[in-house]
Amino acid sequence: MKKKPFSVIYACLVYIFLYLPIAVVIAFSFNTSKMNVVFEGFTFDWYISMWSNTLLMDAFKNTLIVAVASTLISTILGTLCAVGLNRFEFKLKETISSALYIPIVIPELVFAIAMLILFSSMNITMNMVTLIISHVTFSMPFVVITVRSRLAGYDRSIEEAARDLGANELRTFFRVTLPMIMPGVLSGAMLALTLSLDDVVVSFFTAGVNSQTLPLRILSMVKKGISPDVNALSTLIILGSVILLVGSTLIQNKLEKREEM
């Protein structure tokens, strides 16, 4: 089937719109000028100087800690919640299922203010713990929905066969159920990680003085101007994200092929 020229042009324009800003950030990370206006020359100096930028690297470290911790917790809790909602029948099942969409559909600003009021009413000082709790709260529903979509086509007879062969509930879950739904779990984990890494609004209201994340640090630099070492760090983050995405995709494809065998 021949491709229409308009469709090709439209697709190219969409990709340019999506990836041109990323390309600009990567290009200016090699710029000799401190001003992100004109590309004057090529250099690797910003990739070296960014390591000596204490404020920037501390913010990046906080971002990684919060992102990894909130992703692990939200993935575990979200997977267990999805399996429970799929397997058991109880009175408040529909209410709980509907309530999971509330953190997703309400404005992020409203959610952030609600978390701030909650912590303030409990006289809890804002720190890394409150930041992680907030990230888990708004990330977990995405994990639940992703895993539940995977469970929708799940064949329960496989679990019954495992129990008939003598496996208990725990062994059945880790040896049969979890490997079968692992592609959905990985997709939910990647989504939770992405949401945590680039969050600004919730982090702004629930982060403490010593728990500033990279997005908040960059936001505070906007008025004075963003230095090129931020572009260098952003380029490394983009590279790491691509590696994670490719790795996750390869693992999911391998698990799906194993399931089809």
Please say whether the structural domain 54-260 has been given the CATH code 1.10.3720.10.
yes
CA distances from 174 to 121, 171, 179, 242 (A): 40, 5, 7, 29
Parts of the chain belonging to CATH 1.10.3720.10: 54-260
pLDDT tens for each residue of 10-54: 888 998 998 898 898 888 888 888 777 777 888 888 898 889 889
pTM of the model: 0.84
- When comparing pLDDT for 66 and 224, which is higher? 66
Q: Predicted confidence band at 250 (pLDDT cuts at 50, 70, 90)?
A: confident
pLDDT above 70: residue 1:
no
pLDDT tens for each residue of 129-160: 999 999 999 999 999 999 988 888 777 777 77
pLDDT above 90: residue 94:
no
Structure token pair of residue 64 = 């990684």
